[in-house]
Amino acid sequence: QVHLVESGGGLVQAGGSLRLSCAASGRTFSSYTMAWFRQAPGKDREFVALIWWNGVTTVHAESVKGRFTISRDNAKNTVYLQMNSLKPEDTAVYYCAADPDPRKVATRTQDYVYWGQGTQVTVSS
C-alpha cells in the first residue's frame, strides 16, 4: 500500500512559478513509477508527467514541456513538480499517482494504482 499526499498548490499570477510536492508512505516508494495528472473543471483528468524509479527517465506532456519538470527524492519519499511560466490554462486540481512498475510508460489514469487527494492550482491572468 502507498499513501500519497500532495501539497504546494495555490493561487499565482500568469508567468509565475509553483512547486508541488507529493509525499508517499511505504518502504517501496523508490521502486515505483510516479506521475502527475491534472483535472480542470468540466474536463477529463489528463497526464502531465511521469518519472521512473531511478529519477533519470522522465516523460512530460507536450502542453507542459519546457515549463514543468518532474523530479523525485527517494531518500525523502517525495516526488516534485516544478511549474514555471504558468498560464491560466494550467488551472486545475493536480494529482499525484503511483504504480509498482518501476519503468512504466503510461499516460492513462487507469494505468496507475495509487492516487492522492489532489491540490488546487489556480493561475490568474
* pLDDT tens-place string over residues 19-53: 999 999 977 889 999 999 999 999 999 999 999 99
pLDDT of residue 90: 98
Distance separating alpha carbons of residues 87 and 122, to the nearest angstrom? 9
pLDDT of residue 1: 81
Q: Of 61, 46, 58, which Cα lies nearest the Cα of 94?
A: 46
Backbone angles phi, psi at 53, to 5 degrees: -55, -35
pLDDT of residue 3: 95
* pLDDT tens-place string over residues 54-108: 999 999 999 999 999 999 999 999 999 999 999 999 999 999 999 999 999 999 9
Distance separating alpha carbons of residues 113 and 119, to the nearest angstrom? 18
pLDDT of residue 88: 97
